[in-house]
C-alpha cells in the first residue's frame, strides 16, 4: 500500500469506491440495527490496507458528525435525557481515554517500520472486536431463538429483568433521571459508562453496547435510550475525534467518503425497520455480526505473525486477508441485500393500495 | 352500436331530444326519472340521499355507503338496459356514469334559462319569478349532488365529448348530429370497453349483493372487479367481517372468485378538532394518497365531568329486517353529541375520497388513547394535531409529546406532529431549491478536499500537524458535522424525492 | 306550547307511530290516511302544523301544501316522502313548505322539525 504521508494511504478510485460502499453498507446496517455499523466499516477499512487506528479514528470522526445531526432531531422530539447523557459522558470519557491510550501505545510501540507497523494495535482491536461482538451476537441470537420457541405472545418490550435487579442496587448516591424517569445508583452507572466509552474508543462501536445497556440495565424507554445515546455519541465522538485528531490519525478523506455512502444507507436502513418485523430484524442483525466476527478472527493469525508470536510464510498473509475480506464483505453485503430486498419489496407494496390478506375460492 | 349518455339540466327538452334520437335509431331509451322510480321501488335509500343535499350538512359514513349502493344500482340497471350494445340515457350527470369506459358518447346539453323557466312555470304551476327562483336553487342543488355523488364538477368540459346548445339548434337536427356522431367508429364499443363495462357491472352487482345481505349490510366496503374477480376492501376495524364478505360473495352469480383485502397502511390522525378545508388536512391527505393509505381519525377531548368515554362514529345502519315495517318512521338511534369538532365532516370528506378508516371520539388522555389503539397495529404513521388545548401551550406541547412517545413505544410506528409533516415528508419547491444549494456546497467541499489532499493530510497528521495539533483537532471537530449536515440533508431530500420516507 | 297538528299519510302506520310519540310532547294530533278527509278537516279548522306525505294515490301532497298555504299562510307545512328528489324538494320549498323530510326518518327528526316550526310560530306571533 502506498502511503502519501506517515499514516495516510494513497486513495485511488477503486479504494474510494470501496470506502463509499463500506459506508453505504455500514449505513444500511446501522440504520437497520439502530446503532453501530462501525463494526462493519472499521474492519472493512482495515482490509483495504488502512491502518487500524486510522480506520478507527476516521470512523469515530464519522460517527461524531452523524450523531450530531441525529441527536439534533431526537432532541427536538424530546428523546434526550441530558442528565443521563452527562453522567454517561463523564464516565465514557474515562473509557475513551483508556482506549486511546492503549491504542496509540500499541501503535507506536510496534516495531515502527515495515509491515508490522501497527500490527499490535491491529491485533488488539481485532481481539476486542471478536470477543465483544461474539457475546452480543450470540446473546441476541439466543434471545431471538428463545422467543420464537416461547411462541405466540407478542413482544411487550424489552425485558426489565436486569433493570429491576439493578434497581435493587441502591448504594448511594442514587441519581434520578427525570426525562427517562428512572433511578440508577452511581455504582451501576460508572462501569457501564466506562465500558461504553472504552469500546467506542477501541472499536468505534459504542452505541452498539450503549443503547442496550441503557435500555436493559437502566430500564429507560427505547426512544429515550436511542436519543440519549446519540446525544452521548455526539460528545464521545467529538472527544474521540478530538483525541485522534490531536494524535494525527484522522483521515478526513475517509470520513467524507464514508458519509457519501452511509447517510443514504441510514435512511434506507431506518425505512427497513419500519417494514420488517422485529424478530427478523434481530435475526439478521445477529447473523451479520457473527460473520463479521469470523472475518476478524481469521485476520488474527496474520497480526500474530507480524508481531512474531507465530511464524509461517508471510505470503500466506494475502490469503488470510482475502478470506477475512471475503467473510466481511459476505456478511455486510448479504445482510445489506436482505435489508434492501425487504425495503424494495415493501416500497413496491406500499405503492399498491392494499395487501391481500385472504384469497377465497379463486376460480371456484 | 352505441351508448349515448346525455347530461341535461332539469326541466329542459333533453328528454324529447333523447326520444327523437331513439326514434331515429331504434336504440333503447331510458331516463333518470324512471331510474329514480325504480330505485325507490327497489328500496334504495335514494330519498335520503337526495334530501341530504338540501338539508346541509351532508353527513357521515352512513350516507356514503348509501351513495355507493345507489351508484351500483344505477350501473346495474343501465347495464341491463343496454341492448345490442345500444343505449340512450338522459340524466343529471349521465356523462359521468360508467366512469373510465371508453367509446361511450358523453354529451352535455344546455338550454337557456328562459326556456326552462317557461317549462317549469307550466309544469309546476308557478309564476315566472318563482319559476326562475326554483330553477336557480335547483341548479345549485344539482351541482352539489354531482359534486357529492360523482366527485366532479358539472361544468368541467373535459368530461364531455360534445356540448350541445339547444338555444338555436332544433331538436330534430340535434338528434341527427348525435346519431351521426354516435355512428363514428370512435363510439363503437371495443372489446376492451365491453370487458370494462362488464367489470363495472360485476362490481356493482357485488356491492348490491353485499348491501342487501343481512350479514354484510352494515359494512362500509370498497368493491372493485377485474376479470370477473371481485376485490373487496374493508376497514381495519372491520377485520372480523372478511369471512362473511367472502361467504356472501360466494353466492354471487358469474363471479369467478373474490378477494377480500384490508386497507394495508393507515395513517392515524389525532386532534381535538378537524376541518377538511385546512392545509394540515390537505397535507395528510396528500401523504395518504402517495402511500395508498387510509386515514383514521381520533378526536381526543378532555374527559367530560372527569369521566373518560369512547364513542365510535356510526357506520352505515343495518337495513331494517323484513316484517318490522315502520312506514319509514324509524325509532331514534343512540344520541350523538352535537359538537363533534368537525369529525363527521372530515370523515365524510375522506369517505368520499375512499380514504376513510373511520373515526372515534375519545374523552380522556394518553391512557385512553393507548387503550383504544391496543388491538390495531396497522398504522404506518401517527400524526398528532392540536391536542390538550385546554391545558395551556407549554403543557400542551409536553403532553402531546408524551402521548407521541407512548404511542410510538406501544405501536413502533413513527409519530409526528402536524407542523413537522411538510418539512419531514413532502417534497416541494422549497425542498428542491434546498437540495440544489446543498448539492453545490457538497460538491465544492468534496472537490476542495480531494484537490488539496496532501496539504490537508499534512495538517492532519503530517509534519505540519506537529506544530498545529490543537488547531487540527478543532478543525476536524468543526468541519465534520458540517459535512454530515450538508450531505445528510441531501440524501434525506433525495430519498424523500423518490418516496422512501 | 301545545300545537294543533294534522298528519296526512296514506299509510296508517305512519300516523300511528307519529301520534304516539308527538302526543307525548303535549301536542294534539289528527291523523288522516285519506287526503280528501284531511282537506275536509283543513277547511273546518286552522292547524298550526301540517305534516303531509307527498305521494298519495288520490291527491298529491303538493296540492295539500298549496291548499294550506292559500287558506292559512301561518300554518307550517312539513313534507315527508319516501320518493324524495331534489326537484320535488325544491318545488315544495318554493311553494312555501316549512321543511322537507325524506323517509325513512327517525322520529327525532320530525320532532326537531316540529320544534323548529313551533319556534317560528312563536316568533311570528310574538313579533
Over residues B315-340, the mean pLDDT reads 58
Contact C104 B50 (CB under 8 A): no
Rounded Cα distance, B326 and C18, in Å = 11
Question: Between chain B and chain C, are at least 3 CB pairs below 8 A?
Answer: yes
Question: Which chain B residues have a beta carbon less than 8 Å from that of C82?
Answer: 40, 47, 328
Contact A269, A30 (CB under 8 A): yes
Put residue A114 in one of left, alpha, beta given phi > 0 → left and psi -120 to 50 → alpha: left
> Which one, of B149, B416, B378, B144, lies nearest residue B283 by Cα?
B416
**Nearest residue, CB atoms, B264 vs list A224, A260, A354:** A354
Rounded Cα distance, A27 and B19, in Å = 71
CA A330, A331, A332, A333 torsion-angle sign? positive
Over residues B168-175, the mean pLDDT reads 92
Over residues A148-157, the mean pLDDT reads 43
Task: Report whether pLDDT(B23) > 90.
Answer: yes
Q: What CA–CA distances, in Å, run from A16 to A12, A170, A332, C106?
A: 6, 52, 18, 75
Over residues B179-195, the mean pLDDT reads 90
Contact B293, B263 (CB under 8 A): yes
CB neighbour list of residue A193: distance below 8 Å, 6 or more residues apart: A87, A88, A89, A90, A91, A92, A94, A95
Which subunits have 3 or more CB–CB pairs within 8 Å of chain C? B
Question: Which chain C residues have a beta carbon less than 8 Å from that of B43?
Answer: none
Instruction: Find cell 310532547 and name the residue.
Output: C25
- Among the listed ranges A348-357, B32-41, B456-465, B479-488, which one has the minimum average pLDDT value? A348-357
Domain map (residue ranges) of chain B: 3-189, 194-262, 266-317+340-425, 429-497
Task: Report whether pLDDT(A185) > 80.
Answer: no
What is the residue-wise DSSP string for B130-193?
HHHHHHHHHHHHHHHHHHHHHSS-TT-GGG-SEEEETTTS-HHHHHHHHHHHHTSGGGSPPHHH
Task: Report whether pLDDT(B228) > 90.
Answer: no
Per-residue confidence (pLDDT) for residue C12, from 0 to 100 = 87
B194-262 — its CATH code?
3.30.70
Domain map (residue ranges) of chain C: 4-126
pLDDT cut 70: percent of chain A above it: 67
Per-residue confidence (pLDDT) for residue C75, from 0 to 100 = 93
Q: Does B319 contact C at CB distance below 8 Å?
A: no
> Which one, of A125, A126, A135, A276, lies nearest residue A212 by Cα?
A135
CB neighbour list of residue A72: distance below 8 Å, 6 or more residues apart: none
Which subunits have 3 or more CB–CB pairs within 8 Å of chain B? A, C
Task: Report whether pLDDT(B157) > 50.
Answer: yes
Q: Which helix (H) or strand (E) holds B379?
A: strand B379-384
Q: Does C100 contact B at CB distance below 8 Å?
A: yes
Q: Which of A361, A362, A363 to mutate to test the interface with B (most CBs of B within 10 A)?
A: A361
Contact A340, A270 (CB under 8 A): no
Q: What is the mean pLDDT of chain A?
A: 71
Largest CA distance in chain B: 105
- Among the listed ranges A318-322, B189-193, C120-124, which one has the minimum average pLDDT value? A318-322
pLDDT cut 90: percent of chain B above it: 25
Q: Which helix (H) or strand (E) holds A184?
A: strand A182-185
Q: Does B126 contact C at CB distance below 8 Å?
A: yes
Determine the Cα angle at A331 with ends A336 and A62, to 5°.
Answer: 65
Contact A253, A320 (CB under 8 A): no
Task: Report whether pLDDT(A214) > 90.
Answer: no
Over residues A193-200, the mean pLDDT reads 76
- Among the listed ranges A348-357, B91-100, B102-111, which one has the minimum average pLDDT value? A348-357
Per-residue confidence (pLDDT) for residue A156, from 0 to 100 = 41
Task: Report whether pLDDT(B118) > 90.
Answer: yes
Over residues B431-442, the mean pLDDT reads 87
The CATH fold assigned to B266-317+340-425 is Rossmann fold (3.40.50)
Over residues B434-452, the mean pLDDT reads 88
- For residues B311 and A60, the model is more confident at A60
Contact A355, B292 (CB under 8 A): no
Over residues B414-443, the mean pLDDT reads 76
Which pLDDT band, with edges at 50, 70 and 90, does A356 fall under? very low
Rounded Cα distance, C4 and A115, in Å = 111
CA atoms within 13 A on the CB side of B105: 28
Rounded Cα distance, B105 and B195, in Å = 17
The CATH fold assigned to C4-126 is Rossmann fold (3.40.50)
Contact A250 B460 (CB under 8 A): yes
Q: Does C87 contact B at CB distance below 8 Å?
A: yes
Which pLDDT band, with edges at 50, 70 and 90, does B311 fall under? low
Over residues B418-426, the mean pLDDT reads 62
Per-residue confidence (pLDDT) for residue B90, from 0 to 100 = 95
Task: Report whether pLDDT(B113) > 90.
Answer: yes
Contact C84 B330 (CB under 8 A): no
Contact A77 B401 (CB under 8 A): yes
CA B70, B76, B79, B80 torsion-angle sign? negative
Over residues B205-233, the mean pLDDT reads 80
> Which one, of B113, B154, B161, B125, lies nearest residue B12 by Cα?
B113
Task: Report whether pLDDT(A4) > 70.
Answer: no
- Among the listed ranges A54-58, A212-216, B467-471, which one has the minimum average pLDDT value? A212-216
Sheet holding B415-417, edge to edge: B309-312, B356-363, B294-301, B266-271, B379-384, B415-417
Contact B480 A361 (CB under 8 A): no
- Among the listed ranges A110-114, A235-239, C119-123, which one has the minimum average pLDDT value? A110-114
Question: Which chain B residues have a beta carbon less than 8 Å from that of C101?
Answer: 51
Question: Tell me: the pLDDT tens digits for C43-88?
Answer: 999 999 999 999 888 888 999 999 999 999 999 999 998 888 999 9
The grid coordinates of residue B95 equal: 356523462
Per-residue confidence (pLDDT) for residue B176, from 0 to 100 = 93
Which pLDDT band, with edges at 50, 70 and 90, does A267 fall under? confident
Question: Tell me: the pLDDT tens digits for A321-342?
Answer: 778 778 777 777 888 888 888 7
Per-residue confidence (pLDDT) for residue B412, from 0 to 100 = 65
Determine the Cα angle at B202 with ends B198 and B204, to 5°.
Answer: 115
Question: Which chain B residues have a beta carbon less than 8 Å from that of C95?
Answer: 126
A175 strand-pairing partners: A184
ipTM: 0.90
Task: Report whether pLDDT(A353) > 50.
Answer: no
Residue of B nearest to C21 (CA): B331
> Which one, of C1, C2, C6, C22, lies nearest residue C76 by Cα?
C6
Q: What is the mean pLDDT of chain B?
A: 80
Architecture per CATH, domain B3-189, reads as 3-Layer(aba) Sandwich (3.40)
Task: Report whether pLDDT(A289) > 80.
Answer: no
Task: Report whether pLDDT(B174) > 90.
Answer: yes
What is the residue-wise DSSP string for C38-54?
HHHHHHHS--SEEEEES
Rounded Cα distance, A324 and B263, in Å = 47
Q: Which of C31, C79, C94, C108 to mutate to test the interface with B (most CBs of B within 10 A)?
A: C94
Distance between first and last Cα of chain A: 68
Distance between first and last Cα of chain C: 17
Amino acid at each position: 500500500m502506498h502511503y502519501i504521508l506517515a499514516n495516510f494511504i494513497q486513495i485511488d478510485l477503486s479504494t474510494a469506491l470501496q470506502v463509499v460502499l463500506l459506508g453505504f453498507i455500514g449505513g444500511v446496517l446501522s440504520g437497520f440495527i439502530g446503532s453501530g455499523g462501525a463494526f462493519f466499516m472499521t474492519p472493512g477499512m482495515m482490509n483495504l490496507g488502512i491502518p487500524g487506528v486510522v480506520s478507527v479514528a476516521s470512523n469515530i470522526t464519522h460517527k461524531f458528525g452523524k450523531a450530531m445531526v441525529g441527536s439534533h432531531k431526537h432532541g427536538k422530539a424530546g428523546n434526550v435525557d441530558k442528565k443521563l447523557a452527562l453522567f454517561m459522558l463523564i464516565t465514557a470519557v474515562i473509557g475513551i481515554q483508556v482506549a486511546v491510550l492503549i491504542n496509540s501505545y500499541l501503535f507506536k510501540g510496534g516495531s515502527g517500520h515495515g509491515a508490522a507497523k501497527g500490527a499490535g494495535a491491529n491485533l488488539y482491536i481485532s481481539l476486542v472486536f471478536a470477543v465483544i461482538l461474539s457475546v452480543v451476537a450470540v446473546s441476541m441470537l439466543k434471545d431471538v431463538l428463545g422467543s420464537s420457541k416461547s411462541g405466540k405472545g407478542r413482544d411487550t418490550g424489552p425485558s426489565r429483568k436486569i433493570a429491576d435487579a439493578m434497581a435493587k442496587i441502591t448504594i448511594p448516591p442514587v441519581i434520578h433521571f427525570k426525562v427517562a424517569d428512572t433511578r440508577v445508583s452511581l455504582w451501576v452507572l460508572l462501569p457501564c459508562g466506562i465500558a461504553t466509552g472504552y469500546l467506542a474508543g477501541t472499536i468505534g462501536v459504542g452505541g452498539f453496547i450503549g443503547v442496550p445497556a441503557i435500555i436493559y440495565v437502566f430500564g429507560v424507554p427505547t426512544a429515550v435510550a436511542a436519543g440519549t445515546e446519540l446525544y452521548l455519541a455526539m460528545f464521545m465522538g467529538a472527544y474521540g475525534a478530538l483525541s485522534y485528531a490531536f494524535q494525527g490519525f484522522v483521515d478526513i478523506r475517509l470520513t467524507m467518503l464514508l458519509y457519501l455512502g452511509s447517510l443514504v444507507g441510514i435512511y434506507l436502513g431506518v425505512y427497513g425497520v419500519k417494514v420488517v418485523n422485529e424478530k427478523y430484524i434481530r435475526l439478521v442483525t445477529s447473523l451479520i455480526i457473527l460473520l463479521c466476527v469470523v472475518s476478524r478472527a481469521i485476520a488474527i493469525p496474520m497480526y500474530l505473525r507480524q508481531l512474531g508470536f507465530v511464524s509461517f510464510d508471510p505470503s500466506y498473509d494475502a490469503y488470510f486477508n482475502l478470506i477475512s475480506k471475503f467473510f466481511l464483505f459476505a456478511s455486510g453485503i448479504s445482510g445489506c441485500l436482505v435489508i434492501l430486498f425487504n425495503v424494495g419489496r415493501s416500497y413496491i407494496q406500499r405503492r399498491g393500495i392494499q395487501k391481500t390478506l385472504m384469497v377465497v375460492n379463486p376460480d371456484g | 352500436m352505441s351508448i349515448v349518455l346525455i347530461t341535461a339540466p332539469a326541466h329542459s327538452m333533453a328528454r324529447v331530444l333523447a326520444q327523437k334520437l331513439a326514434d331515429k335509431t331504434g336504440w333503447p331509451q331510458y331516463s333518470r326519472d324512471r331510474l329514480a322510480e325504480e330505485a325507490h321501488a327497489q328500496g334504495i335509500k335514494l330519498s335520503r340521499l337526495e334530501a341530504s343535499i338540501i338539508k346541509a350538512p351532508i353527513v357521515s359514513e352512513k350516507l356514503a355507503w348509501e351513495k355507493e349502493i345507489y351508484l351500483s344500482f344505477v350501473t346495474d340497471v343501465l347495464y341491463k338496459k343496454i341492448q345490442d350494445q345500444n343505449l340512450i340515457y338522459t340524466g343529471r350527470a349521465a356523462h359521468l356514469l360508467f366512469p373510465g369506459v371508453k367509446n361511450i358518447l358523453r354529451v352535455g346539453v344546455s338550454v337557456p334559462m328562459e326556456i326552462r323557466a317557461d317549462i317549469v312555470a307550466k309544469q309546476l304551476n308557478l309564476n315566472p319569478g318563482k319559476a326562475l327562483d326554483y330553477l336557480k336553487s335547483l341548479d345549485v342543488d344539482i351541482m352539489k349532488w354531482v359534486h357529492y355523488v360523482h366527485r366532479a364538477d358539472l361544468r368541467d368540459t373535459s368530461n364531455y365529448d360534445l356540448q350541445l346548445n339547444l338555444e338555436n339548434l332544433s331538436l330534430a337536427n340535434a338528434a341527427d348530429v348525435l346519431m351521426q356522431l354516435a355512428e363514428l367508429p370512435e363510439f363503437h364499443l371495443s372489446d376492451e370497453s365491453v370487458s370494462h363495462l362488464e367489470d363495472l357491472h360485476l362490481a356493482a352487482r357485488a356491492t348490491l349483493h353485499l348491501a342487501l345481505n343481512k350479514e354484510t349490510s352494515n359494512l362500509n366496503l370498497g368493491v372493485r372487479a377485474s376479470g370477473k374477480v371481485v376485490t373487496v376492501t374493508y376497514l381495519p376495524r372491520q377485520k372480523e367481517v372478511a369471512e362473511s364478505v367472502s361467504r356472501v360473495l360466494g353466492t354471487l352469480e358469474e363471479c369467478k372468485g373474490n378477494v377480500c383485502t384490508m386497507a394495508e397502511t393507515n395513517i392515524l390522525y389525532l386532534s381535538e378538532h378537524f376541518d377538511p378545508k385546512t392545509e394540515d388536512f390537505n397535507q395528510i391527505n396528500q401523504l395518504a394518497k402517495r402511500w395508498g393509505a387510509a386515514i383514521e381519525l381520533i378526536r381526543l377531548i378532555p374527559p367530560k365531568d372527569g369521566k373518560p368515554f369512547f364513542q365510535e362514529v356510526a357506520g352505515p345502519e343495518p337495513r331494517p329486517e323484513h316484517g318490522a315495517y315502520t312506514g319509514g318512521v324509524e325509532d331514534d338511534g343512540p344520541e350523538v353529541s352535537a359538537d363533534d369538532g368537525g369529525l363527521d365532516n372530515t370523515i365524510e370528506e375522506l369517505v368520499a375520497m375512499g380514504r376513510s378508516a373511520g373515526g372515534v371520539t375519545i374523552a380522556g388522555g394518553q391512557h385512553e388513547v393507548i387503550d383504544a389503539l391496543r388491538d390495531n397495529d396497522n398504522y404506518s404513521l401517527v400524526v398528532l394535531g392540536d391536542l390538550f388545548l385546554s391545558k395551556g401551550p407549554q403543557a400542551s406541547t409536553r403532553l402531546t409529546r408524551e402521548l407521541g412517545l407512548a404511542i410510538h413505544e406501544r405501536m413502533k410506528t413513527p409519530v409526528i406532529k402536524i407542523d413537522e409533516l411538510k418539512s419531514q415528508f413532502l417534497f416541494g419547491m422549497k425542498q428542491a431549491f434546498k437540495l440544489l444549494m446543498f448539492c453545490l456546497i457538497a460538491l465544492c467541499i468534496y472537490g476542495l478536499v480531494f484537490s488539496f489532499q496532501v496539504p490537508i493530510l499534512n495538517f492532519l497528521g503530517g509534519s505540519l500537524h506537529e506544530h498545529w495539533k490543537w488547531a487540527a483537532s478543532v478543525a476536524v471537530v468543526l468541519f465534520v458535522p458540517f459535512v454530515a449536515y450538508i450531505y445528510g440533508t441531501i440524501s434525506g431530500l433525495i430519498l424523500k424525492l423518490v418516496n422512501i420516507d | 306550547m301545545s300545537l294543533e297538528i294534522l298528519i296526512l299519510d296514506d299509510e296508517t302506520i305512519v300516523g300511528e307511530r307519529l301520534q304516539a310519540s308527538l302526543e307525548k310532547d303535549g301536542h294534539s294530533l289528527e291523523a288522516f290516511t285519506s287526503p280528501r278527509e284531511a282537506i275536509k278537516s283543513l277547511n273546518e279548522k286552522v292547524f298550526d302544523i301540517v305534516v303531509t306525505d307527498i305521494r298519495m294515490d288520490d291527491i298529491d301532497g303538493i296540492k295539500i301544501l298549496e291548499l294550506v298555504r292559500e287558506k292559512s299562510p301561518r300554518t307550517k307545512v312539513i313534507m315527508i316522502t319516501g320518493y324524495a328528489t331534489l326537484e320535488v324538494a325544491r318545488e315544495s320549498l318554493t311553494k312555501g313548505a316549512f321543511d322537507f323530510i325524506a323517509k325513512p326518518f327517525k322520529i327525532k327528526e320530525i320532532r326537531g322539525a316540529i320544534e323548529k316550526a313551533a319556534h317560528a310560530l312563536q316568533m311570528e306571533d310574538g313579533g
